[in-house]
Structure 1
């Protein structure tokens, strides 16, 4: 849509199963970023942002889920919607700050970088929330 381009692929990194090894998600995120860089000609910004997100993902999971994450007894997709939304917000902010800082790469454009982070981050959050609401499995009572 021109200026606002929501990044839906972040859902893949956020929802990657916790039981798998940390290196798996980092390698897959890097490959995903390289593929996006190839088609969008962003010079490694997607790869760096995806890799940063994959590297900091355990921190956000520990912050949002607490002791449940340490015990490895959570399923991200089956967690309550508010926690999933909070995790998504943290991940989107980290990814977008790294991505737009590398794309713009100009210290005098900090306000523009923050404007892009907030506007495209909000659009990404809305689109990803809609996708989660549509495809999240219902909890049976």
Structure 2
């Protein structure tokens, strides 16, 4: 079964809003409600873990060629968009080129992260991503 990674962060991303720089809080909290219901816990338990299933995983194209490795997931406060930081090229982190891929463009199939239509050359040709201070 192929599922867009966009759904992995959708629930969490939609409930996040930027507060005082780097701190996050739940948007429009319901008074007296903390956490989720036991029914929601069952739904969450069926999801994928960013830490276990996505971070540090290799990214492949449909020809089974490795095009990079996911080093980070970023959820922006604007429109709660989620992006994967994918490193390509280099060896052991030296001369690696990080790029940004919207999670909606990635899929997981048979426990592998796929970026359909990608080639190593196309990913390396993308603008480099640098973290802001």
Superposition TM-score, scaled by structure 2 size? 0.29
When Rg is computed on C-alpha atoms for both structures, the one with the higher figure is 2
Asked which structure has the greater RCO (Cα within 8 Å, sep 6+), the reply is 1
Superposition TM-score, scaled by structure 1 size? 0.28
Q: More strand per residue: 1 or 2?
A: 2
Q: More helix per residue: 1 or 2?
A: 1
